[in-house]
Each structure stands twice: as structure tokens, then as C-alpha cells.
């Protein structure tokens, strides 16, 4: 059932092109001009009057929510707050009828997320669930459900569920943006066109997996790894860091690239691997100067950028490239090398990749 792959996690990483395609299927208008979300039965008037969106989730799904915030705010111009479900439910969130609450949960059974959903509904907000499991508790209790079609995810560390959750975030953001008139038809078409090509671009990245295996051989024994990035790259850095911690037990920290010097730059010493994400064109120069900051402390930098950013090769020790795409969509591609890096590092260290210690796939207790 592992289809010839050594672990479920590796199999699921490789299933992403198919999962991305399936999650888009039937949700785009024939001429690529619009997103069709039959599942979201909120009328357009209501979507136009929304004043706030809350996204709440746990773990990797929370990281998908961080990308969702950025994308919804940028495209649909609605303020979005993202909260960890176990925090949201106890902090008396300021919710009214002009608030939409989006809960994200691969399993649809996470106790904290389910409790957050119930709290949101109690406060009178409509709840939209993004989940991968049909008829799960969260799917049943939400007002609206947008399914991700990742297929069953067996490995505890979430991979294809995360990238399909990102697709769900793009679909929601594009739909809201269309209804609220915050982006032009041309802009929408351009993003949708790129969205449809994510599967083949993901395929290209997977085809270069051996480069990451080589890196894991060099750095697999590291004690600490830092991940830095700005904007959407920061959200992906958090997910890359979590993946590494979850399955390889290496201590990892993700920092907004500009914040490192206000925090733990002192921990960057000779040879400490720093994975630096620089996929966002408008932030590239800023991230580049942060890379120089860590290089000045003799860190080893593994940079991740879109093809064409040759400048990085002069500064970083290694550069991994993703195929060019619209910067808002970059997280779907950027996370794949990080998933593979976490996987290969865990393999080098002889860890039980699919069943990491102390973690469960679905946590149905508080």
C-alpha cells in the first residue's frame, strides 16, 4: 500500500500533484475567469458585508491558516485573524454576525478545533470548515464545508493535506475577491492560470528530490536548524520547522527574517544550518540582507528561491530553486523541498518517520 515508497510520508509527498489537481477539480469556471464554490452557500450580499474573518486550527492546519490570512487579506481586503484552536476557544473572541469563522482540520476530529467551531457557532458566526474527511465531526457540525481531496493521509506528519488546504485558501480568497470586487478579472485569471499549473510544477520539484537527499547526508546530524523568511515565506518557514521537529527531533526554530536580529541571532554560530526562504519578489532584497547577516556569523545557508535569483549563489552555501509562479502561490511549491528535507533528515537519523514518538495523527482529547 506504500506503492513502492519506503514510508507513507514519502508516498504522500509524491501524491501532491494529484491531490492539488483533485482539490481544484470542478471548482474553476471553464474559461478560468472564476472560482465556483457550490459548497459555500453564503449569499454574495453577506460576503460583501463581512467585516472580519477568523481562521482557527491546530498544528499544520494552523500554518495553512497563516497563509490563508495573508492571501485573503491581500486579495479580498478583509481583515483576518488566525488563532490556534486551543487559544481561540478560551479567549472570548470578538465575533458578531458580520464575522466568518473558518476552521481547518485534516481529520475533522481534532478536539480543540471542534470546540472552537462550537464556540464560534454559539457566538452566532457562520462556520466554514476546510477538512479532508467526508462526514467527520467537524464537517457535520459546520454550516458550510469545503473538502480538500488529498485522499487518506496515513503518516502523522501532514504533507498533502497541508498543500490542499492551501489550495482551499486560494479558492476562498479568489471567490471573496470576486464578490467584493477587490481584484480585476485579469488579475483573477492570471492567478487561476497559475493555480492550474501548480501540479506540474510540484512534479518538477519532486523530480529533483536527490538534491535534498544530498543535503540531508551533509546536515542530518545538526543539532539546531533555523528557518527564516518574510511574508508568506515566514508562514512556510514555520511549517518547514515543524516538519523537521516532528519527525527528525532536531531542534528547529522559524523566525520572520527581519526579527532574528531582535531575537536569537546570538544562537547563529559557525556551521548552524539556516534555511532561508526568498521566494517573494517584493521582499527579496530585504531577505537577502538577512541572509548576509547570518552569513556574517558563519552560518551555513540553504536558500530556497524561485528560478532566476542567481544572486543568491554568491551568498548562500546551497540554493534550491522552485519553478517560477505567482508569488501568492509560492507556498505550495516552497514547502515541498522542506517536506523532503525533514523526511530525508529523519531517515538519516534512523527515526520512525511515519510514527514519530509522542504524536498522534488525530488528537481527540483536549
Active site residues: 361
Q: Is position 99 an interface residue for ligand BG6 (rule: CB under 6 A)?
A: no
Q: Is position 56 an interface residue for ligand BG6 (rule: CB under 6 A)?
A: no
Nearer to ligand BG6, 247 or 260 (CB): 247
Nearer to ligand BG6, 129 or 176 (CB): 129
Q: How far apart are the first and last CA of the chain?
A: 32
The SS3 call for residue 226 is: strand
Min separation Cβ 361 and ligand BG6, Å = 6
Q: Is position 105 an interface residue for ligand BG6 (rule: CB under 6 A)?
A: yes
- List 106, 163, 287, 344, residue binding ligand BG6 (CB under 6 A): 106
What would the DSSP string read from start to end of 251-266? EEEEEEGGGGGGTTGG
Helix, strand, coil share of the chain (percent; to 5): 50, 15, 35
**Distance, CA of 174 to CA of 182 (rounded, Å):** 10
Min separation Cβ 105 and ligand BG6, Å = 3
- List 16, 113, 241, 325, residue binding ligand BG6 (CB under 6 A): 113
Closest-CA residue to 329 (of 279, 262, 266, 291): 279
Nearer to ligand BG6, 15 or 293 (CB): 15
**Distance, CA of 39 to CA of 239 (rounded, Å):** 28
Q: Is position 320 an interface residue for ligand BG6 (rule: CB under 6 A)?
A: no
Is residue 257 within 8 Å of residue 235, measured between CB atoms?
A: no
Q: Which of residues 116-175 bind ligand BG6 (CB under 6 A)?
A: 156-158
Q: Is position 61 an interface residue for ligand BG6 (rule: CB under 6 A)?
A: yes
Min separation Cβ 331 and ligand BG6, Å = 16
The secondary structure of residue 108, as a DSSP letter, is: S
Min separation Cβ 183 and ligand BG6, Å = 29
Q: Is position 20 an interface residue for ligand BG6 (rule: CB under 6 A)?
A: no
Residue 102 pairs in a beta bridge with: 55, 128
For residue 211, report the phi and psi dihedrals to the nearest 5 degrees: -65, -35
Residue 295 pairs in a beta bridge with: none
The SS3 call for residue 304 is: strand
Nearer to ligand BG6, 109 or 293 (CB): 109
Min separation Cβ 58 and ligand BG6, Å = 4
Nearer to ligand BG6, 242 or 278 (CB): 242
Min separation Cβ 174 and ligand BG6, Å = 23
Environment class of residue 357 by beta-carbon count within 10 Å: exposed (0-12), middle (13-18) or buried (19+)?
A: exposed
**Distance, CA of 312 to CA of 309 (rounded, Å):** 6
Min separation Cβ 329 and ligand BG6, Å = 21
Nearer to ligand BG6, 306 or 342 (CB): 342
- List 23, 99, 110, 163, residue binding ligand BG6 (CB under 6 A): 110
Q: Is position 58 an interface residue for ligand BG6 (rule: CB under 6 A)?
A: yes
Torsion of CA 186, 55, 306, 34, to 10 degrees: -20
Is residue 323 within 8 Å of residue 204, measured between CB atoms?
A: yes
Nearer to ligand BG6, 234 or 243 (CB): 243
Which three three-digit cell numbers place residue 22? 483533485
Backbone dihedral region for residue 216 (phi beyond 0: left; psi -120 to 50: alpha; all else: beta): alpha
Q: Is position 363 an interface residue for ligand BG6 (rule: CB under 6 A)?
A: yes
Q: Is position 359 an interface residue for ligand BG6 (rule: CB under 6 A)?
A: yes
Q: Which residues bind ligand BG6 (CB under 6 A)?
A: 58-61, 105-107, 110, 113, 156-158, 359-360, 362-363
Amino acid at each position: 500500500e506504500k506503492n513502492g515508497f519506503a514510508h507513507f510520508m514519502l508516498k504522500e509527498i509524491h501524491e501532491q500533484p494529484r491531490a492539488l489537481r483533485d482539490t481544484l477539480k470542478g471548482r474553476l469556471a471553464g474559461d478560468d475567469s472564476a472560482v465556483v464554490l457550490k459548497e459555500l452557500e453564503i449569499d454574495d450580499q453577506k460576503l460583501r458585508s463581512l467585516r472580519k474573518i477568523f481562521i482557527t486550527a491546530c498544528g499544520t492546519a494552523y500554518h495553512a491558516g497563516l497563509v490563508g490570512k495573508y492571501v485573503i487579506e491581500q486579495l479580498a481586503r478583509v481583515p483576518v485573524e488566525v488563532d490556534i484552536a486551543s487559544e481561540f476557544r478560551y479567549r472570548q473572541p470578538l465575533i458578531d454576525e458580520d464575522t466568518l469563522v473558518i476552521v481547518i482540520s485534516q481529520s475533522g476530529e481534532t478536539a480543540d478545533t471542534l470546540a472552537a467551531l462550537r464556540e464560534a457557532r454559539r457566538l452566532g458566526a457562520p462556520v466554514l470548515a476546510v477538512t479532508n474527511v467526508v462526514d467527520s465531526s467537524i464537517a457535520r457540525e459546520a454550516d458550510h464545508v469545503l473538502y480538500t481531496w488529498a485522499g487518506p493521509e496515513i503518516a502523522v506528519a501532514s504533507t498533502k493535506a497541508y498543500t490542499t488546504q492551501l489550495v482551499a485558501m486560494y479558492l476562498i480568497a479568489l471567490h471573496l475577491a470576486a464578490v467584493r470586487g477587490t481584484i480585476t478579472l485579469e488579475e483573477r485569471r492570471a492567478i487561476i492560470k497559475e493555480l492550474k499549473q501548480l501540479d506540474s510544477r510540484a512534479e518538477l520539484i519532486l523530480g529533483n528530490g536527490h538534491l535534498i537527499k544530498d543535503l540531508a547526508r551533509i546536515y542530518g546530524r545538526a543539532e539546531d536548524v533555523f528557518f527564516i523568511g518574510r511574508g508568506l515565506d515566514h508562514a512556510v518557514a514555520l511549517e518547514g520547522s515543524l516538519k523537521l521537529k516532528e519527525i527528525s527531533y532536531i531542534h528547529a526554530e522559524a523566525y520572520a527574517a527581519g526579527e532574528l536580529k531582535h531575537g536569537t541571532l546570538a544562537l547563529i554560530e559557525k556551521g548552524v544550518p539556516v534555511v532561508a526562504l526568498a521566494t517573494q519578489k517584493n521582499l527579496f532584497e530585504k531577505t537577502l540582507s538577512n541572509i548576509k547577516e547570518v552569513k556574517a556569523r558563519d552560518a551555513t545557508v540553504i536558500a530556497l528561491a524561485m528560478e532566476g535569483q542567481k544572486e543568491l549563489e554568491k551568498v548562500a552555501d546551497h540554493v534550491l530553486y522552485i519553478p517560477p509562479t505567482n508569488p501568492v502561490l509560492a507556498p505550495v511549491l516552497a514547502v515541498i523541498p522542506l517536506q523532503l528535507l525533514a523526511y530525508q533528515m529523519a531517515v538519516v537519523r534512523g527515526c520512525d518517520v511515519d510514527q514519530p514518538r509522542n504524536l498522534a495523527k488525530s488528537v481527540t482529547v483536549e
